[in-house]
Amino acid sequence: MVLSGAGISTESGIPDYRGESGSLRTHTPMTYGDFVGSESGRQRYWARSHLGWRTIARADPNDGHRAVAALQARGFLNGVITQNVDGLHGAAGARDVIELHGNLDRVVCLDCRATSPREELDRRLRAANPVFEAEATRINPDGDVELPDEVVKDFRLVNCTNCGSPLLKPDVVFFGENVPKTRVERCYQLIDEANAVLVLGSSLTVMSGFRFVRYAAKAGKPVLIINQGHTRGDPYAAHRVNLPLGQALTTLTDTLG
């Protein structure tokens, strides 16, 4: 099975978090506590994400995503787990992808739990902010961008159409928030059913992905890592490759035929 991280999407124009040009060097992601505890925090997030989501929504799958879909179609993979929220594995044709941290294309109300398409929220935010003009200077893997405070302060929020709550949130796992238990259990099940785990483009710094590598290694399943740069899972890896993912995965699929 495959476990992928932000590094597989860099060739689609979406930066990673911790690489040489990773966004965490200059960007502090929104935390769950800040989002639910502060209207100004939600205003800041939605103003910035309103622009950033459009960039991610326009991104196309790259050779790495297409290679994963091809490996699955040929029967080499029993499943795909991704830490990414950009939906590019599915867009490339991969089936039944477990989106560990959710997907920016969905919105959830934290009060009534109703979900809706991001396109719908985008239309409502455009209507509420008809003269909102800004240029995104940097897109981050979480769909956030950098914007000056003077641009953010006049951005108007909208409420849930189902219950009127102001707590609308992208259906993604923020920093400080837990991955749903049922989703985690499904990931462990995939590892149990697999012969090996292939990690693609993840530093495995956060426990949400690292625990699966550690679990697989403890079960005696080979862990193979393709990533540019050190990863937390390196001590558990049977093989480690330091190459761009598009190049490495295209070579792999060509070799397997």
Residue 213 burial (C-beta neighbours within 10 Å; 0-12, 13-18, 19+): buried
245 is in an annotated binding site: yes
Rounded Cα gap, residues 55 and 191, in angstroms: 33
Is 41 annotated among the ligand-binding residues?
no
CA distance 43 to 254: 47
- For the structural domain made of 2-256, what CATH number should be given? 3.40.50.1220
Distance CA 228, CA 69 (A): 21
Query: Is residue 84 annotated as involved in ligand binding?
Result: yes
Q: Which residues contact 52 (CB under 8 A, 6 or more apart)?
A: 136, 139, 140, 142, 143, 144, 145
Domain range annotation of the chain = 2-256
187 in a labelled binding site: no
How confident is the model at residue 202, as a pLDDT?
A: 95
Question: Which pLDDT score, from 0 to 100, does residue 132 have?
Answer: 85
Q: Is 124 annotated as a binding residue?
A: no
Q: Which residues are catalytic?
A: 101
Separation of alpha carbons 98 and 234, rounded Å: 23
Structure tokens at 76: 């080499």
Segments of the chain scoring below 70 in pLDDT:
17-27, 135-138, 141
| Tokens representing residue 218 in the block | 């403890």
How high is the pLDDT of residue 17? Answer: 57
pLDDT for res 138: 67
- Provide the pLDDT for residue 27: 58
Q: pTM, whole model, 2 decimals?
A: 0.89
pLDDT of residue 66: 96
